[in-house]
Structure 1
Amino acid sequence: MDLQLQARTQQFTAELVRAMPQLSVAQAVSAALQMADALDLHRYEDFGALVGLVKTLQLRPAFEWELFGYEPVDGAVPVRLEVPHEPGRDHRIHFEDHYLSFHMRRVHPPGVHLFDYQDTVGGWRKRLGYVTRPSLDYAEFAEAAANRRLPLRRVEMLGNLWKIGAVATWEREREGETSWCHVQHHPLPGESPHPQMTEQDAWYRLRIHPEVGRDVIVEIARCLAEIHLGYVEKLWEAPEDSRAQRGPESEAAAYLALERLWVPQRSRHTDWYRRYTAGEPMAADFRWDAVYEAAQQVEDLLRGDTAPVTAYTGGL
């Protein structure tokens, strides 16, 4: 694969992940790779054209098409996606076929019409998880230091930070940095965080500079990505080898996760974003696979789809 096509494929995959929150990140990556050749990405000369393509794609499960009176056209190739495992269910691998809208035709009127695709996707994007408990701990968080109030939905999202032992605070001491995070307290093996954690007993401190303004959630997501990528010690898993792409990888993971969470992207473009949208090759040690995994973990935490972690026991 030539470098230009490789960059286009990476862009297409990332933008499809952002555009399809009804799929898991892993499913969206798989879908993008299955569709890339058929869509002839060479034809799209710049990032804007590629984003325009992604916005036209409607991918639905085969059973949904059938339910509303559609069938695949001759020669249509399904996008076959692995069904995520559910706790307590059979762990055998199952696949489900999906089809793009231009591979379908209506064969009989079902009496009802397909649900609007964008409305459906928007519903998934705005969903908060069943493990989320509304918390007003961060209700005055932004207003106190940046003279702006966070929407209640984002306040609830921040109410999930405690599940990995994290607390976000405003900091003014380090000029020139928008945010930084670090381990503040090492828990005992087998210990779990609790909802009433404060900056005194938190495992992690996410320190956000007030000048970030409306980008506060972006900075928090980037800090979370640094933890999930292993750049800050992950206290509930075995230590990982150090890497050299902390800024670009964490920025990329936050960029993916926040669109899926219906949170605006960063208001100021970073060096990573400029390189990405220009189609420039990433550094040789940039790990897209790790970025996708971290994006899912950041999304799951902020959306409220995770339970509290348990501190790493070291194999005990």
Structure 2
Amino acid sequence: MLFAEIDRRLDLEEHPLRRTRLEQFLIEAVRGMPTLNVGQAVRVALQVFDLIDMDRCDNLTQVIQHAWRLPVHPASEWQMMGYRPMTTATPIILDTPREGPVLRENEPEPYYILREMIDAKGHTPVTRREPLHTARGTTAVDSAHSWERRRVMDPDSANVYASFHGEFPRHILAMLGNLWKIGAVATWSSELGNATSRQRVNPAGVTSHPKGPHLDRRDAWYHLDISSRLGRDGFAEICLCVASILSGYSPQVWHNPYVIPQQGPLRMVEIEAASYIVCGRLGAPRRRSSTEWYQAHAKSEEPLPEGFRWDLVLGAATQLEDLLRGDSAPVWTNTGAPLHGE
């Protein structure tokens, strides 16, 4: 339903510039709100797009500034900051997971954007002279919302890629330790010519399940060969390779290692888009070089190519983020089907 709503809203934007700004805002809002899941961030972006002055943005840089400064908080947080919603405010209802010693069901909670809030004197945060004091960083809020940015670090996998690259932050290296959950091993290669990566199914490995985080190339389902000249861009390239697998543009060994489920002319644009979203949400650098996706995304008055599949891109981004955060189980645990050759 949410993906259908994206298509519906885009179809309503008859002017190419407005459609382009909405597309750009959706992508950047999802990147810039990692404390919400992908679906929630999309819902917020769709609801607030008409409330902010996106028509005044001249380029992608200005769109990013709007999206990444979008102050959206639950009503409970606004209350802690001394604000309440205006009578005309429109709540954005999102489910908030509740974690703690006792497992509880998710609870719907109204969220509001900054410009729809007022204080006890009727002042809006925008018109007050003193700065808005955010509750982020306080013990109560960090405790209540620590689930949102959690990274499940398995000590056995966190150090597998510890020496992969000196410029990678420690948390990024730890995330790579979760690649075994799709049966993948990433290695540097100096034999790729002009290619930035090569992702292949390993025929010798598809007859058995990966045994754990310390997976070697011989037993891996996938070999992710990353060009050694990429340097810190290597993480984004790994994300691109994995997005290709999770989106179905590459064989999914846990279903069938010899079948490519998805076909389409926008393969590179769509899997690069998923990688771009996830790198932003994880605090990882995006590619320094201009890719086909980024060129399409940055065009000021030209919408994304016809046929761009939001459901595929956002679905792959969700799976990729969950995988790297360590928040998902190995892909084969939910299939129940024997592997080829077993």
- What is the alpha-carbon distance in structure 2 between the residues aligned to residue 195 and residue 115 of structure 1? 38
- What is the alpha-carbon distance in structure 2 between the residues aligned to residue 15 and residue 224 of structure 1? 21
- What is the alpha-carbon distance in structure 2 between the residues aligned to residue 214 and residue 151 of structure 1? 10
- What is the alpha-carbon distance in structure 1 between the residues aligned to residue 91 and residue 338 of structure 2? 43
1:61–1:50 Cα change, 3 Å = same
Runs of 4+ in structure 1 over 6 Å off: 123-126
Find out whether 1:304 has 2:322 as its counterpart: no
- Alpha-carbon contact 1:187-1:203 (below 8 Å) kept: yes
SS of 1:267's equivalent in the other structure is coil
* 1:160-217 CA distance string (max 9 Å, x none): 111111100122222010112121146458x455222101100111110101111110
Which deviates further from its counterpart, 281-290 or 294-303? Answer: 281-290
SS of 2:331's equivalent in the other structure is coil
- Alpha-carbon contact 1:65-1:71 (below 8 Å) kept: yes
Equivalent position to 2:71, from 26, 37, 58: 58
Which residue type is aligned with residue 225 of structure 1? A
1:199–1:128 Cα change, 3 Å = farther
Counterpart of 2:316 in structure 1 is: 294
- Alpha-carbon contact 2:210-2:219 (below 8 Å) kept: no
SS of 2:118's equivalent in the other structure is strand
The alpha carbon displacement at 1:139 in A equals 2.2
Residue-pair matches, total: 302
- What is the alpha-carbon distance in structure 2 between the residues aligned to residue 137 and residue 262 of structure 1? 20
1:231–1:306 Cα change, 3 Å = same
- What is the alpha-carbon distance in structure 1 between the residues aligned to residue 61 and residue 160 of structure 2? 39
Equivalent position to 2:159, from 136, 159, 162: 136
1:66–1:126 Cα change, 3 Å = closer
Counterpart of 1:105 in structure 2 is: 118
Equivalent position to 1:69, from 74, 77, 82: 82
Which deviates further from its counterpart, 3-12 or 47-56? Answer: 47-56
In structure 2, stretches of 5+ residues that fail to align are 1-12, 122-132
- What is the alpha-carbon distance in structure 2 between the residues aligned to residue 151 and residue 82 of structure 1? 31
- What is the alpha-carbon distance in structure 1 between the residues aligned to residue 115 and residue 45 of structure 2? 16
SS of 2:284's equivalent in the other structure is coil
Which residue type is aligned with residue 278 of structure 1? K
The alpha carbon displacement at 1:309 in A equals 2.0
Counterpart of 1:161 in structure 2 is: 179
- Alpha-carbon contact 2:202-2:223 (below 8 Å) kept: yes
Find out whether 1:31 has 2:44 as its counterpart: yes
- What is the alpha-carbon distance in structure 2 between the residues aligned to residue 174 and residue 267 of structure 1? 19
1:178–1:28 Cα change, 3 Å = same
- Alpha-carbon contact 1:132-1:305 (below 8 Å) kept: no
Q: TM-score, normalization: structure 2?
A: 0.78
1:7–1:82 Cα change, 3 Å = farther
* 1:265-288 CA distance string (max 9 Å, x none): 111111220221114222222212
Counterpart of 2:225 in structure 1 is: 207
Which residue type is aligned with residue 316 of structure 2? A
- What is the alpha-carbon distance in structure 2 between the residues aligned to residue 315 and residue 226 of structure 1? 23
Find out whether 1:284 has 2:293 as its counterpart: no
Counterpart of 1:243 in structure 2 is: 264
Identity %: 37
Which residue type is aligned with residue 135 of structure 2? F
Which residue type is aligned with residue 156 of structure 1? A
Q: Give the CA RMSD over aligned residues.
A: 3.2
Equivalent position to 2:251, from 228, 233, 237: 233
- What is the alpha-carbon distance in structure 1 between the residues aligned to residue 58 and residue 196 of structure 2? 34
- Alpha-carbon contact 2:239-2:275 (below 8 Å) kept: yes
1:315–1:168 Cα change, 3 Å = closer
